[in-house]
Amino acid sequence: MLLKPSALFTSILLFFLVSCGEKAKKTEPPAKKIEVQQDSILERNEDSQQEEKEEERFVLTEENAIDFFFNYAKGLKKNKVKVTTSMGSFTVLLYDNVPYHKANFIYLAKEKYFDSTQFHRVVKDFIIQGGNSDDRRTSKKRKEIGRYLLPPDAKKGYKHHRGTISMPSSERDNPHKLASPYEFFIVVTNPGSYHLDGSYTPFGRVIEGMDVVDAINKVPVGDGDWPWQNVYILKAEVL
């Protein structure tokens, strides 16, 4: 049966419109695909920024420590540190002419290394020693700051009088008595422990709160002179 011209024209027009509509439908991009691509780009950017931040972090080593503290000491105008413990607080005055040890102590205080460490060795009527801990956070902080030792500086005329803060030597094979930078000890012996002179580096003295140091020295201890009840350094503030 033949269609009239008007009917034929209408049929062709409908076919054309339906075909165009299907093409437009097929070429429309799904919204979900665009969203996934944007998230992937953001994740790559965040990973890249994290890698750059890790690469930029400065870590101390035995090769760069002396130069670093030599320059760091030049800009230091403050020379007092207040140490707050779980038994009270005391303040130490740091000697200006023992630059590496002074700079090291201030740097670690500003890096909050001492926060949450302990007085891990207490020897009656002799010393209290701090800066270590059996907490994993302490070893993690040491790793982040760096592994290094400091040369002894025991010829400035300072003696181990009562109240002197000094730096112990490393337990590693250490014939030159290189100092362990993360720890310190304070003399409580009256008038002093002068047999330590020449072997360790006095770098300051307690000027306030010696009664707190004496109280820590009286706590009960077990094997290895570690206090039965932990004595924490809550914070060390540069004044």
pLDDT mean over 199-208 = 96
pLDDT digits (tens, 9 = 90+) for 63-96: 999 999 999 999 899 999 999 999 999 999 999 9
Domain count of the fold of the chain: 1
In a domain, 46, yes or no: no
The answer to whether 213 touches 84, Cβ cutoff 8 Å, is no
In a domain, 190, yes or no: yes
In a domain, 10, yes or no: no
In a domain, 59, yes or no: no
Give the range of the structural domain holding residue 214, as residue numbers without chain letter: 65-238
pLDDT at 172: 64
pTM given for the model: 0.76
CATH code: domain of residue 71: 2.40.100.10
- In three-state secondary structure terms, 192 is strand
In a domain, 170, yes or no: yes
User: Which residue from 167, 237, 158, 142 is spatially nearest to 192, judged by alpha carbons?
Assistant: 158
In a domain, 38, yes or no: no
CA distance 7 to 15: 13
pLDDT band, residue 179 (cuts 50/70/90): confident
CB count within 10 Å of CB 219 equals 16
In a domain, 74, yes or no: yes
Query: Which residues are CB-contacts of 3 (< 8 A; sequence separation ≥ 6)?
Result: 11
